[in-house]
């Protein structure tokens, strides 16, 4: 049986990439597979719960960032070479540009024609990849239509790119809308500025008239400026701070809509998860991600940076705008289900293997 290896760098254990890999292997348990697959983690993780059902080899380095960076600069190239020589995989996938570059170089030295597949989980416009690294891969897995277009703009031919999205794990429990005060949701890192851009959400709320509540779920390590700004705008009385909750969808029992104001994402899984529970979504129309998820049947997009437009959307909902039913919203999540994702992933790998054979 053919064998593939996914090589990843150090990951905390709590991020989106870990969740995607976990969901991929969980989906693989549901059916027979045409090829073997395992993960090689160079650096390990602080938390390994994501690897519960994952076949994995771990090269632990250190908790200290400095030592991990030093390892990457000195020993990692030899480590990758030796690992690929020993394992002799039929294909290699990596989420990290430097790693897929080193994997390709190692395979050339080993005189093997093993295809190397890049699986980048970020917007290339916001987190650019150096030309030498980007072009070293043979094929690319794109997690959103926007990332596929970014790859094409950088000279990658479309026949080398496979759009596969990302899988979600959900129990499909429908979450009801409150009958009285609307409850809006934010789930993610609590940051005033930067990627998550909560300043835009708070600015929008300051212009809304009427009663509402905003439930915020997320790590509060950077929350002090957010709370101070909320008090400054006078919207703090509308906010309920829940802090980090490992499985927020298991404790959320009511929601009117989820709001995402990020400046950039790869494929925002929180939107996929929300629609799987029948929750209406409002999102900034950024270059990658939301356009693949949100449509007229499950939510609304607004121009990123336009907090006044976001205010109008929220206001319409408070004023009893007619929205799709939770069941109608849930039906739009089908393409992110594990079985559909696994089908797309397998098709991509099998086609790559067929071309390379």
Please compute, for residue 153, the number of CA atoms within 13 A of its CA located in the half-sphere on the CB side. 10
The reported pTM is: 0.86
Residue-wise DSSP of 198-264? HHHHHHHHHT--S--EEEEES--TT-HHHHHHHHHHT-GGGEEEEE--SSGGGT--B-SEEEE--S-
Instruction: Determine the distance from the C-alpha atom of residue 226 to the mean position of all C-alpha atoms in its chain, rounded to a whole number.
Output: 23
pLDDT tens digit sequence for 129-142: 999 999 999 999 99
Q: What pLDDT is attached to residue 356? A: 58
Percent of the chain whose pLDDT exceeds 90? 85
Low-confidence ranges of the chain (pLDDT < 50): 357
What whole-number distance in Å separates Cα of residue 181 and Cα of residue 215? 12
| Residue-wise pLDDT tens digits, 139-188 | 999 999 999 999 999 999 999 999 999 888 889 999 999 988 999 999 99
């Amino acid at each position: 049986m053919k064998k593939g290896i996914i090589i990843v760098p150090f990951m905390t254990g709590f991020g989106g990439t870990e969740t995607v890999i976990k969901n991929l292997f969980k989906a693989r348990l549901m059916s027979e597979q045409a090829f073997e697959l395992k993960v090689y983690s160079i650096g390990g993780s602080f938390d390994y719960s994501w690897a519960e059902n994952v076949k994995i080899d771990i090269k632990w380095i250190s908790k200290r960032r400095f030592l991990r960076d030093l390892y990457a600069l000195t020993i990692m190239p030899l480590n990758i070479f030796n690992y690929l020589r020993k394992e002799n995989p039929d294909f290699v996938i990596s989420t990290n540009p430097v790693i897929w570059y080193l994997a390709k170089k190692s395979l050339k030295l080993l005189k093997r024609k093993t295809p190397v597949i890049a699986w980048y989980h970020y917007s290339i416009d916001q987190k650019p990849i150096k030309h030498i690294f980007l072009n070293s891969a043979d094929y690319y897995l794109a997690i959103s239509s926007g990332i596929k277009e970014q790859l094409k703009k950088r000279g990658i031919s479309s026949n080398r790119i496979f759009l596969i999205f990302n899988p979600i794990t959900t129990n499909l429990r429908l979450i009801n809308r409150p009958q009285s005060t609307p409850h809006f949701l934010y789930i993610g890192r609590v940051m005033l500025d930067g990627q998550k851009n909560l300043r835009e959400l708070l600015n929008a709320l300051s212009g809304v008239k009427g009663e509402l509540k905003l439930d915020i779920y997320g790590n509060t390590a950077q929350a002090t400026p957010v709370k101070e700004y909320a008090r400054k705008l006078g919207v703090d009385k509308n906010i309920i701070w829940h802090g980090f909750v490992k499985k927020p969808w298991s404790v959320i029992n009511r929601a009117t809509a989820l709001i995402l104001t990020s400046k950039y994402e790869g494929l925002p899984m929180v939107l996929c998860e929300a629609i799987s529970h029948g929750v209406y979504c409002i999102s900034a129309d950024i270059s990658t991600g939301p356009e693949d998820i949100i449509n007229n049947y499950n939510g609304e997009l607004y121009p990123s940076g336009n907090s006044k437009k976001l205010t109008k959307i929220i206001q319409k909902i408070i004023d009893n705008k007619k929205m799709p039913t939770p069941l109608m919203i849930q039906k739009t999540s089908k393409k992110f289900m594990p079985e559909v994702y696994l089908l797309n992933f397998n098709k991509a790998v099998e086609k790559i293997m067929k071309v390379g054979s």
